[in-house]
Chain A
């Protein structure tokens, strides 16, 4: 990518229409044109908004379900990204509007690569969202366009012979989704190493034999996505290497940094309220202000005097986030564990380490942040003996219902919650639970973090107002100073920095709403 004031050799700006001949691409070559800083910013922010939408929709809806595609299409339209890719490519590429959209899509992708190549975590997030976005766009193509796309990108995969198809017919029908005897005959089956179609392997939606998967043409998106993912992952690693050059540009560095910070929203890791909570308060707070997942963990801990690793992490980091100090945490866990099968000596040897670890006092000394709803819902599902996870996601509906009844949620509310659970809107179900238990009709926030639940609850109950304000202030001032510091170093950049602060505040408010 070439930035104005370019260190790199300027290329003659070839009419780049060729680049945008198709709405969907693998983003092979980086753009070479000059763009203004303000365009740079808007492009980046808009794409981030789009990716954030992709992430949120992926949690609330089944991917590629009707609602999912509809909402994603709307968001693409609003943000002026290409949408409805089924229009004839050749015709639409001439429309000036469509050209702009494709250009924006292309350039903004590369800008975010710069922002999201820096750490493993950021890369993972970015790749995941880009892959989902690609999946949506690819699936929106007509069959003919799909073939064209494969052809254009030189993607060739081995197909199996008719004889092989015949011998495997039963197995293929029973392992692939929506495939019948007739459709097996009609379509090609690709045979690729199972490592290239992990999504299908994971969900057991493909026939697997001797290390190879047999993928019907209708599912070819999986292999294409795998290709896309591999390329993007490699490209990000390369980008990371050239990052120092970009970072020396004081106009871009703060912007890129802020962009990459924005993806999680608030992470509830800054503890200005450390020590504001005493251990005696936890029991009563767990009933009043803990989200259901934490209440469940707290209860299990009190009952069994033990929690397994997944539970200790989820609950321990939450407690850290609401303000328990390391000393308090150690005391809290020890006093509970030694009432069970663990004696004080064993606790100090086997468990204290992991608690200090959580607070960044051991190992690589990372200060771990409390888990967000997304993380609780999507990663490390509970298994035998576990109490962690999201109660709305990981409980039998019947048990959840009983629990809600036990917690005195009115029957009408329970059925509303169960309806949301059924539609897989776990965060909305939790928010409904919040509203019902706090007698608030319409929550003024959108729930995406257990610690946010706690803060909002304290706010609603009138107890934690100051606590919350303090936290917000500290976070805001930290971020602003982070954005200003490098910029303020040079006067020349002062104006940019001013814009930046404004823009980053916009971003903040966006992600707090979204």
Chain B
């Protein structure tokens, strides 16, 4: 795979090419301008650039798409972060009276990072991922996407691969962008089931009655659990991992299961035994005996970095930014094709720059090239690379959003006509 050719040292050479010919500026601006419904929405947005040698430049802001393009061509940032929409232009934040410069709005964001699952995956640890543990991200997206749509009523959810070991979600609905800090943290806590740090072993505790949200989430986990946990991670295989699972059940059940496991080695059957025990316990009528569900959730339920979601002014890596360590582009994910999304197939900057250099094929170029403006060529440049399908999906997402503010704009222009 050519994408493995990426080398950090080549980044300074590739970034100018990427920003000049491939970065989808017009879509990017279209997104953050939100149809121009609110004045100065793009102008007051904070961008933050990470330059070579981890030099961090905060509070960048731009009045137009052209200004943004110019600055990016000049700076060639290693990484781009997006912050809040402020009360004033962020690049002038030092000129306004302190205390008046305030973060007003931002997309509701979620950050799911594979490192947070280290205690429940045996295949990799820290920043490493593989196709086995990637299932965790698929589960996470399915659970959160459903809840954010059905429970909270949001519609415009942009899921983005971070470029390395996680995914981000940008909830772009107007109502979501206007949420207070308290509301953001309440949403994040509603969605958090796995709680506790290194000093907590049992991180999921269910109480009766089981909330519809948890039931829905469990239904998703159940789809994946046998294949993912029992097969791929083999949690009932090695002795230590079996013990780890058994710390999550009540003492008497643990002893019984330990005996039963002596004779039964097959993971699927062992899991059946756990479930049998749970059914038995629940039949006794005692409340709060949901250990089989708690196990499933502890091993598979999405682990959110709540602090990222809480803060209005928190920065998050921008879509289409390059991940400096892997070279992969942070691309939007089509959640209708979630199951087939492969993080290792996401193009690296080296790959798409190389694709750009390949000789053009076919006559279409010759025909259209005649009336080609530079601008037009740029639009088509990315189409010749593996980035194309991700930009196309981004376009679809933006179209969906545009229809939501059409009504708003019409209403406004109607108002104006009356004068």
Contact = CB atoms under 8 A, between A and B. Distances in A.
Interface of A: 171, 173-175, 194-195, 198-199, 201-204, 207-212, 296, 300, 349-350, 364, 380-389, 391, 394-396, 398-400
In this complex, the member of A208, A350, A381, A384 whose beta carbon has the largest number of chain B beta carbons within 10 angstroms is: A384
Interface string B134-174: 00000000000000001111100000000000000000000
B153 A396 contact: no
Interface stretch (B82-90, B189-197, B337-345, B404-412): B189-197
Given A171-B212, A384-B198, 6 more contacts: A174-B210, A210-B152, A382-B196, A383-B194, A383-B196, A387-B199
B303 A391 contact: no
Given A384-B116, A396-B202, A209 B190 contact: no
B199 A394 contact: yes
A396 B200 CA distance: 5
Nearest to A194: B152
Given A208-B152, A383-B195, A385-B198, A349 B211 contact: no
A349 B196 CA distance: 30
Contacts of B182: 198
Contact of A399 (B53, B153, B185, B201): B201
B291 interface: no
A202 B200 contact: no
B183 A384 contact: no
A202 B210 contact: no
B186 A388 contact: no
Contact of B213 (A208, A212, A384, A391): A208
B209 A395 contact: no
Give the 4 A-B residue pairs with the shortest CB-CB distance, closest first. Answer: A211-B153, A382-B197, A386-B197, A210-B153
B324 to A, nearest CB: 14
Contacts of A174: 209-212, 215
Contacts of B211: 174-175, 204
Nearest to B191: A204
Contact of B197 (A204, A208, A209, A387): A387
Interface string B193-233: 01111111110000001111111000000000000000000
A479 to B, nearest CB: 26
Nearest to B212: A171
Contact of B198 (A207, A209, A210, A382): A382
A307 to B, nearest CB: 11
A204 B214 CA distance: 9
A201 B116 contact: no
Nearest to B178: A195
Interface string B89-105: 00000000010000000
B189 A396 contact: no
Contacts of B154: 211
Contacts of A396: 196, 199-202
Contacts of B214: 204
Q: How large is the interface on B (under 10, 10 to 19, 20 to 34, 35 or more residues)?
A: 35 or more
16 contacts: A173-B209, A194-B152, A201-B187, A208-B213, A210-B153, A211-B175, A381-B196, A383-B196, A384-B117, A384-B197, A384-B303, A396-B199, A396-B200, A399-B200, A399-B201, A400-B199
A198 B183 contact: yes
A411 B189 CA distance: 37
B306 A384 contact: no
B230 to A, nearest CB: 22
Contacts of A385: 115-116, 118, 197-198
Contacts of A204: 190, 211, 213-214
A202 B209 contact: no
Contacts of A350: 54
A296 B182 CA distance: 30
A391 B198 CA distance: 11
B212 A175 contact: yes
A389 B197 CA distance: 9
Nearest to B116: A384
B307 interface: yes
A430 B352 CA distance: 58
Contacts of A386: 197-198
A171 B183 CA distance: 23
B272 interface: no
Contacts of A296: 199
Nearest to A383: B197
A211 B152 contact: yes
Contacts of B153: 209-212
B372 interface: no
B199 A207 contact: no
A296 B198 CA distance: 11
B179 interface: yes
Contacts of B186: 194, 198-199, 201-202
A204 B206 CA distance: 11
Contact of A388 (B187, B190, B197): B197
A203 B211 CA distance: 10
A481 B210 CA distance: 57
A210 B150 contact: yes
B276 interface: no
B119 interface: yes
Interface string B300-327: 0001011100000000000000000000
A380 B213 CA distance: 24
Nearest to A193: B175
Nearest to B213: A204
B198 A387 contact: yes
Given A174-B209, A396-B201, A202 B179 contact: no
A233 B333 CA distance: 40
A395 B199 CA distance: 5
A211 B179 CA distance: 12
A400 B118 CA distance: 22
Contacts of A381: 195-197
Contacts of A398: 201
Contacts of B175: 211
Contacts of A364: 98
B212 to A, nearest CB: 5
A156 to B, nearest CB: 22
Contacts of A395: 199-200
Interface in B341-366: none
Contacts of A300: 198
In this complex, the member of B54, B118, B151, B210 whose beta carbon has the largest number of chain A beta carbons within 10 angstroms is: B151
A201 B183 CA distance: 9
A204 B153 CA distance: 16
Contacts of B187: 201
Nearest to B188: A202
A351 to B, nearest CB: 12
Contacts of A389: 197, 199
Contact of B190 (A171, A208, A349, A387): A208
A211 B173 CA distance: 12
Nearest to B199: A395
Contacts of A173: 209
B150 A209 contact: yes
Contacts of A209: 150-151, 153
